[in-house]
Amino acid sequence: MKILALSDIQSDSRNIFSLIGSVLPNMVLLAGDLVDKIWKHRSSWKRLRSLLMLLDDLSLPTYIVRGNHDIYPHFDWLMSFPYKRVESLDLKNKITKPISIIGVPHNFSDDLTKIRTLETDPPPLVDIVISHTESKRRPWLFYIPAKIILTGHFDQQLSVINNRVFISMSSFPSQYTIINYQSRNNFHIEYFDNSYHGLLIREIEYRNGRFSSKNLFDSSNHYASQVECLIKQRSLLREGLTTRKEAQDKLDKLGVSPNHYREVLACID
């Protein structure tokens, strides 16, 4: 199954259709911020509705997660059309066939009380998580048992973190991802990024429970070690096996911004 994942599409239908025409996916994932800063304009929402209706006419299953620009009355209006194949996902409204996907929308991850429940009361095992989550809240996503975690909103990452693939995209058409998914133990991911100098393609292959990768974002996998360290320090702190000062020192040494670790370390009951 070929899955095309996009985020922050900003109602750009022209590029989306040409990409769909060349990739020929079996499924489309839209990781939030379907409209841009001009979300107040009725025309953006109307354009977006035409886009979703066209995807629906193609019978292309399309799953959406709500971003911070996808505000309530407009987004609800957008989703109120009786689509056959287009759905907005969250933790409750998930799909299970042909693969399982849950959504972590921005209004969930933006609420610290809610996102903390991913650790205390994690959802059941799923294939893919689509999300629209700010950087400082992303460590919480790794408590979800899933092999692939994908978010929009900010940053370009294709990393392996705690034995999961983490994908983040800033905006379409600068980035997009193609997931060739056979099973939980066998998949191949290609990440396309043309935001720097020409088109870069980064790849992760997962075969029989083993990762191999090409052209990851930095060869030292700096981001992955930062997030892994943050999650580990949180757990050590909870178990009383380190102090906040020691944990902070370790994270400072790795160059993790205090903005990104403050909340994760602070919420220890």
User: Site residues (CB under 5 A) for Mn ion?
Assistant: 33, 67-68, 153
Decide: 260 and 250 in contact? Cβ < 8 Å: no
Q: Tell me the closest approach of the beta carbon of residue 49 to Mn ion, in angstroms.
A: 20
Check: CB of residue 126 under 8 Å from CB of residue 100: yes
| Nearest distance, CB of residue 17 and Mn ion, angstroms | 23
- Residue 132 beta carbon to Mn ion: minimum distance, rounded to whole angstroms: 6
Nearer to Mn ion, 62 or 168 (CB): 168
In the bound state with Mn ion, the residue whose beta carbon lies nearer, of 68 and 109, is: 68
How large is the C-alpha radius of gyration of the chain? 18
Report which residue type is found at 29: L
Nearer to Mn ion, 106 or 147 (CB): 106
Q: From CA 80, how far away is CA 152, in angstroms rounded?
A: 23
Nearer to Mn ion, 39 or 206 (CB): 39
Q: What is the DSSP letter of 95?
A: B
Report, in Å, the least distance between residue 10 CB and Mn ion: 10
* 60/71 with CB nearer Mn ion: 71
Distance CA 104, CA 120 (A): 16
Closest CA to 39 of 66, 58, 57: 66
Residue 254 gets which letter from DSSP? Answer: T
- Of 79 and 265, nearer to Mn ion (C-beta) is 79
Least CB distance to Mn ion at residue 13 (A): 19
Nearer CB in complex with Mn ion: 67/123: 67
In whole angstroms, how close is the CB of 58 to Mn ion at the nearest point?
26
Q: Give the Å distances, CA to CA, from 183 to 68, 116, 127, 208.
A: 32, 29, 8, 10
Is residue 156 classed as helix, strand or coil in its secondary structure? coil
Q: How far is the CB of 106 from Mn ion (least distance, A)?
A: 7
Burial of residue 214 (CB within 10 Å: 0-12, 13-18, 19+) is exposed
Residue 193 parent element (H or E)? strand 186-193
| Residue nearest to Mn ion as judged by C-beta position | 153
Q: How many CA atoms lie within 13 A of 241 on its CB side?
A: 7
